[in-house]
Structure 1
């Protein structure tokens, strides 16, 4: 799935307001495919994990795929980053 510049900007703006699971899943896709400028599996896993927590079924699938490309230390880092992000939302 390719994102336009407008969609990319909207997704980044959404995380600062009231993001949906779909918004967070899109952000994961941006990082996992490099459409955000760089491939970053730790960031992708973080956003897929958060999206999955919000009920996004596709995010669960993508998180599993990304996990297969990561080591346990990177997965742990992504999980920590997700918890940190959640702690700033409340």
Structure 2
């Protein structure tokens, strides 16, 4: 997970959106609980936003330079797959 240390160089902001209670959002909630501390420790200046909204499908957003944003839907993914999606979004920001 060495890519996590360079996350803030490639991405300007990360947003997690999920429902507080839906089973579809369960893996996203668990991922945030388990990984938020590590991500912030390695990238203290990177804004990591967590948005909870009733009934919303779990999503992961990354904002890059010039306001460019990318979204990945997280429904049906495991925590390991969510980590892989975050890595893909981080690598997509390399210019």
| TM-score, structure 2 as length reference | 0.30
Structure having the higher helix fraction is: 1
